[in-house]
């Protein structure tokens, strides 16, 4: 601090000794020749007592001009002015306060090399270099006072410093003074930053050294400084330079550059006034760094953050960033696959990839000087998502809920083209019923027979992820089997009760072989014996040819159904009559038939006699006995069969109640009319007594008077018809003769059936 105060005191004393501008009144006005800078690059003579005004041009503040001046034969004053400062000189007035320092040199002789930075100002200014070889009235008797001719050459050029040149100017220091060339906060540098100090000594010798904050505080406290090796440039009197790399221990530590004209630096120059050009250039490491939040690994389609914010840049020199996330793809076709993208200010981006693999990310950085550097970072991308298997139909198959339905010999053609993956589908592998069916985009199959098959599709992506899809294919025979109409028509319309009958039908199918057809004979269509919900398809008998026996007389219905392997079916209804067994002398049926005939004949005789002997009001009435529960069930079943299968003409035995005849006591016989004679099998000439005797002989002692009718039983009135002949009227339900054949009343026939075989 004392050195700085001393320097200020010296400057004040010099200013106080300078004469005022008003003292120049009446002095001679110099007449300087003018020249452009380009005209004085070679040797130019400046005679004693003259001056030369060289136009340096207009320069903006901060522009650095490099001077290379050679003066021989005689010393001259080299004075630098801007337009405003040159006016006092041109008017012969005192100019020493207006001359620009320290770039101006009085009594210059020999070579002078220095760099000068145009001082700060609002606007650019025009500058001049005046070569003064005369005794100017305003020089206060200092500097060159003219004399002999001087030879001079001047070369001035503009230096284009980069943003990383933080110090570049001509500095002057008085003996035993010092100054800080960097700003008060110092330079905070990254480890590895290259620091270059260049110095061009103009007058005297001095020292340049880097000090930390702590070292600066000690220095300003009056302590001497012993610079570390490589951190100082000592005893600089001419051109000299130093390059120093910031160690890791000083990374981020503020550093200060000191210019000393004293002797407080160990090993430095002796105290002296000095002028020296100093250029300090920093070369921070262009070492971009890429980090990510996923340890250099991600999955397909998953975003990863790439961060370069930790790139060393304590001087904030990096201004542009360019990211290329795939060093193998040259998207812009410029021949460099690592520079696809655009420059921007983002030092952090998000990236993702649509295919698996290892991708090289390239980062380019650019600083304020246009210098670039790059770094690469590998990211591994894996595919962990399985594909989505899908099947589309291209053939004859008919889609259903869980697969497809197909006709025999039709073509099944399925495609895996609809399958998807977050990368791509690599392989479609097919199998049918567990057997491999190829690795193609489509599979083709066909079956001749009905059945169920399983088609399996396995889809694989390049990373080995798989998905499996199964579809059921049902080959369905939709052609119906059918019975041969001739074989159905050939079935008998009646069979004998108790007799064994062999019946046969024939069936065929357009697709299935006859041996694969199944024929069911359902002998009781109203009963669902197999419990499948269909009562008339039971397999009571199986086959084309079966043997049937029916013990009960009456109308019967048999449903015949043919099935193919696919379940298609056809049926035929066989309606036929079961005839009662024919009479036989050795059978109980013959005896029963004889009893019935005798009863009928006896009843006829009784009726005829009562008609002749009793009043009309007491004549016989038919009394209908109530039916039993078994008879009612059989009648309902017969009616249902008729409604389902369309029975032929109603059977009197099944549709009308069987009348029960109540007989009155026998009365003396009356002469028989021709009808009675025909019932008894007698001719017209037979006598009544002979016929009656025969009937009584047939009936024997077993014939007795019928029991009286119960009051609870309903008595049916006799049906009366108007006689058209002289024959005696017969009550309803009696026998009748048709075509010379005896036919029994329907109720009696029904009773015979019930007595022989029992109810159905």
Q: pLDDT per residue over 490-510, tens digit each?
A: 999 999 999 999 999 999 988
- On the question of a cis peptide bond just before residue 102, with omega within 30 degrees of 0, the verdict is yes
Distances (CA, A) of 424 to 353, 427, 437, 460: 13, 9, 22, 9
Measuring CA to CA, which residue among 146, 37, 136, 23 is closest to residue 90? Answer: 136
Residue 261 φ then ψ, to 5°: -110, 20
Segment 518-558, tens digit of pLDDT:
999 999 999 999 898 899 999 999 999 999 999 989 999 99
Strand order across the beta sheet in which 348-351 lies? 291-292, 304-307, 348-351
704 Cβ contact list (under 8 Å, min separation 6): none
Question: What pLDDT score was predicted for residue 513?
Answer: 85
* DSSP assignment of 182-244: S-TT-EE--TT-EEEEEEEEEES-EEEEEEEHHHHHHHHTT--B-PPTTSEEEEESSEEEEEE
419 Cβ contact list (under 8 Å, min separation 6): 387, 388, 389, 390, 425, 428, 457, 459, 467
Kindly give the pairing relationship between strand 398-400 and strand 392-393.
unpaired
Q: What is the pTM of this model?
A: 0.54
Measuring CA to CA, which residue among 339, 311, 336, 312 is closest to residue 325? Answer: 339
Which CATH superfamily is 392-475 part of?
Answer: Immunoglobulins (2.60.40.10)
Query: Regarding the domain delimited by 2-159, which CATH topology (the fold level of the hierarchy) does it fall under?
Result: Jelly Rolls (2.60.120)
* DSSP assignment of 366-414: EETTS-EEEEEEEEEEE--PPPB---EE-SS-EEETTEEEE-TTPPEEE
Question: What pLDDT score was predicted for residue 567?
Answer: 82
CATH architecture of 482-579: Sandwich (2.60)
Place of tokens 């029960």: 660
d(CA 171, CA 277): 6
* Contact yes or no for 426/461 (Cβ under 8 A): yes
* Contact yes or no for 507/519 (Cβ under 8 A): yes
* Contact yes or no for 350/306 (Cβ under 8 A): yes
* Helices 588-613 + 746-757 axis angle, to 10: 150
Show me where the domains of the chain are located: 2-159, 165-283, 291-382, 392-475, 482-579, 589-757
d(CA 225, CA 621): 162
Q: Tokens for 587, please give them.
A: 């059978």
Write 490-495 long-range contacts (CB < 8 A, 24+).
Answer: 491/574, 491/576, 492/576, 493/575, 493/576, 493/577, 494/576, 494/577, 494/578, 494/579, 495/548, 495/550, 495/576, 495/577, 495/578, 495/579
Segment 682-696, tens digit of pLDDT:
444 444 344 334 334
Kindly give the pairing relationship between strand 232-236 and strand 466-475.
unpaired
Higher pLDDT, 608 or 574: 574
Measuring CA to CA, which residue among 333, 341, 385, 383 is closest to residue 361? Answer: 341
- Under the banding of pLDDT at 50, 70 and 90, the label for residue 620 is very low
413 Cβ contact list (under 8 Å, min separation 6): 393, 394, 395, 396, 397, 442, 443, 444
Over residues 662-689, the mean pLDDT reads 41
3-state secondary structure 253-285: CEEEEEEECCCCECCCCCCCCEEEEEEEEEECC
Distances (CA, A) of 694 to 611, 669, 700, 740: 21, 13, 10, 21
* Contact yes or no for 64/114 (Cβ under 8 A): no
In sign, the C-alpha dihedral spanning 263, 268, 271, 276 is negative
724 pLDDT above the threshold of 50: no
148 pLDDT above the threshold of 80: yes
Question: What pLDDT score was predicted for residue 479?
Answer: 86
Helix or strand holding residue 635 (H, E): helix 629-645
Neighbours of 446 (CB within 10 A): 15
d(CA 201, CA 206): 8
Segment 559-583, tens digit of pLDDT:
999 998 878 899 999 999 999 877 6
Quick check: do 2-159 and 165-283 share a fold? yes
Distances (CA, A) of 123 to 38, 60, 61, 386: 24, 7, 7, 70
Q: Tokens for 537, please give them.
A: 């398809």
Mean pLDDT of the chain: 79
Segment 127-143, tens digit of pLDDT:
999 999 999 999 988 99
658 pLDDT above the threshold of 60: no
Helix or strand holding residue 87 (H, E): helix 83-90
Which letter does DSSP use for residue 344 in this model?
B
Residue 405 φ then ψ, to 5°: -115, 135
Question: What pLDDT score was predicted for residue 230?
Answer: 86
Please calculate the CA angle 667-673-679 and round it to the nearest 5 degrees.
90
756 pLDDT above the threshold of 50: no
* Contact yes or no for 574/519 (Cβ under 8 A): no
CATH number of 165-283: 2.60.120.680
Question: What pLDDT score was predicted for residue 478?
Answer: 82
Neighbours of 743 (CB within 10 A): 12
Q: Tokens for 424, please give them.
A: 């791509």
Rounded to an integer, what is the distance from CA 76 to the centroid of its chain?
88
* Contact yes or no for 566/510 (Cβ under 8 A): no
Helix or strand holding residue 431 (H, E): strand 427-432
d(CA 181, CA 257): 6
In sign, the C-alpha dihedral spanning 17, 18, 24, 28 is positive
Over residues 441-451, the mean pLDDT reads 92
Query: Regarding the domain delimited by 291-382, which CATH topology (the fold level of the hierarchy) does it fall under?
Result: Immunoglobulin-like (2.60.40)
Rounded CA Rg of the chain = 70
* Helices 688-699 + 588-613 axis angle, to 10: 140
């Amino acid at each position: 601090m004392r050195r700085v105060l001393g320097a200020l005191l010296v400057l004040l004393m010099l200013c106080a000794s300078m004469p005022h501008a008003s003292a120049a009144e009446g002095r001679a006005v110099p007449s300087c020749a003018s020249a452009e800078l380009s005209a004085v690059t070679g040797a130019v003579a400046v005679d004693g007592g003259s001056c030369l005004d060289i136009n340096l041009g207009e320069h903006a503040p901060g522009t650095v001009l490099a001077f290379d001046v050679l003066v021989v034969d005689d010393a001259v004053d080299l004075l630098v002015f801007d337009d405003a400062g040159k006016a006092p000189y041109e008017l012969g007035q005192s100019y020493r306060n207006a001359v620009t320092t320290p770039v101006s040199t009085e009594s210059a002789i020999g070579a002078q090399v220095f760099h000068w930075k145009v001082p700060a100002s609002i606007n650019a200014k025009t500058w001049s270099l005046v070569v003064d070889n005369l005794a100017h009235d305003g020089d206060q008797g200092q500097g060159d006072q003219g004399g002999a001719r001087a030879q001079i050459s001047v070369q001035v050029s503009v230096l284009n410093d980069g943003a990383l040149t933080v110090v570049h100017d001509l500095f002057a220091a008085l003996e035993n003074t010092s100054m800080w060339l960097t700003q008060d906060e110092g330079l905070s540098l990254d480890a590895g930053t290259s620091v270059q100090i260049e110095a061009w000594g103009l007058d005297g010798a001095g020292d340049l050294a880097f000090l930390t904050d702590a070292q600066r505080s000690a220095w300003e406290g009056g302590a001497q400084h012993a610079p570390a090796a490589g951190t100082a440039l000592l005893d600089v009197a001419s051109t000299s330079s130093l390059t120093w790399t910031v160690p890791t221990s000083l990374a981020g530590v503020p550093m200060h550059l000191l210019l000393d004209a004293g002797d407080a630096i160990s090993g430095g120059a002796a105290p002296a006034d000095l002028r020296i050009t100093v250029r300090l250039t920093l070369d921070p490491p262009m070492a971009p760094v890429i980090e990510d939040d996923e340890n250099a690994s991600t999955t397909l389609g998953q975003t990863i953050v790439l961060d370069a914010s930790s790139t060393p840049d304590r001087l904030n020199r990096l201004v542009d960033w360019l990211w290329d996330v795939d060093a193998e793809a040259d998207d812009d076709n410029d021949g460099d696959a690592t520079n696809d993208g655009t420059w921007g200010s983002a030092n952090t981006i998000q990236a993702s990839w649509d295919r698996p693999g290892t991708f090289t990310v390239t980062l380019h950085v650019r600083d304020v000087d246009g210098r670039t550097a790059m770094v690469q970072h590998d990211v591994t991308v894996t595919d962990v998502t399985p594909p989505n298997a899908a099947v589309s139909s291209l053939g004859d198959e008919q889609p259903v809920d869980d697969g497809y339905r197909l006709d025999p010999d039709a073509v099944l053609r399925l495609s895996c083209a609809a399958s998807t993956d977050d990368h791509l589908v690599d392989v479609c592998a097919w199998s049918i019923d567990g057997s491999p069916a190829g690795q193609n985009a489509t599979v083709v199959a066909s079956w001749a027979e009905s059945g169920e098959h399983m088609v399996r599709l396995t889809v694989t992506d390049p990373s080995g992820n798989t998905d499996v899809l199964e579809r059921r294919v049902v080959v369905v025979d939709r052609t119906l089997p059918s019975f041969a109409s001739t074989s159905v028509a050939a079935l008998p319309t009646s069979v004998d009760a108790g007799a064994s009958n062999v019946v046969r039908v024939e069936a065929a199918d357009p697709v299935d072989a006859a041996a694969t057809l199944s024929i069911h004979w359902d002998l009781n269509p109203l009963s669902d014996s197999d419990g499948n919900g269909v009562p008339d398809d039971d397999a009571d008998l199986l086959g084309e040819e079966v043997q049937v026996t029916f013990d009960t007389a009456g109308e019967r219905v048999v449903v015949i159904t043919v099935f193919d392997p696919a379940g298609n079916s056809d049926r035929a209804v066989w309606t036929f009559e079961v005839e009662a067994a024919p009479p036989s002398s050795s059978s109980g049926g013959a005896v029963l038939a004889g009893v019935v005939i005798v009863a009928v004949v006896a009843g006829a005789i009784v009726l005829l006699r009562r008609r002749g002997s009793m009043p009309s009001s007491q004549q016989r009435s038919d009394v209908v006995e109530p039916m039993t529960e078994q008879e009612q069930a059989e009648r309902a079943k017969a009616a249902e069969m008729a409604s389902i299968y369309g029975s032929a003409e109603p059977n009197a035995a099944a549709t009308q109640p069987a009348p029960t005849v109540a007989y009155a006591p026998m009365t003396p016989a009356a002469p028989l009319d021709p009808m009675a004679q025909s019932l008894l099998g007698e001719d017209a000439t037979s006598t009544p007594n002979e016929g009656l005797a025969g009937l009584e002989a047939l009936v024997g002692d077993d014939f007795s008077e019928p029991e009286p009718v119960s009051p609870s039983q309903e008595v049916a009135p006799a049906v009366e018809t108007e006689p058209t002949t002289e024959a005696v009227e017969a009550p309803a339900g009696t026998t009748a003769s048709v075509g010379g054949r005896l036919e029994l009343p329907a109720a009696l026939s029904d009773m015979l059936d019930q007595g022989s075989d029992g109810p159905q």
